Amino acid sequence: MLNIDLRKIYLFQPVEPAPDPANLPVGGDIYYECLDCTAVLNSVPHIKCACRCTNLAGGGGAMQIAKPDRVRVVRGKLK
């Protein structure tokens, strides 16, 4: 797995109003920020990835979220 800090590449803005944790949006410009370890991952990861605390893990276009209530949905835009 790559260990890339996406904050160096993208500007992130929280999605407002905050979506329901039971129905989180997905998309190419939608990212999830783990509130436990502060990692940011794409909502549709094509390569295998996981945050340090393993709340977020995914690959192959799907993301698994262990604790959806500990995730902030953000929209990313290239700097």
Residue 1 is predicted with a pLDDT of: 58
More confidently predicted of 37 and 4:
37
Convert the pLDDT of each residue in 41-54 to its tens digit.
Answer: 999 999 999 999 99
Is 42 exposed, middle or buried (CB count within 10 Å of its CB: 0-12, 13-18, 19+)?
buried
Q: In what order do the strands lie in the sheet with 40-42?
A: 10-14, 71-78, 30-34, 40-42
pTM of the model: 0.93
Asked whether the predicted pLDDT for residue 33 surpasses 80, the reply is yes
Tell me, what amino acid is at 72? R
Whether the bond into 25 is cis, omega within 30 of 0: no
Tell me, what amino acid is at 64? Q
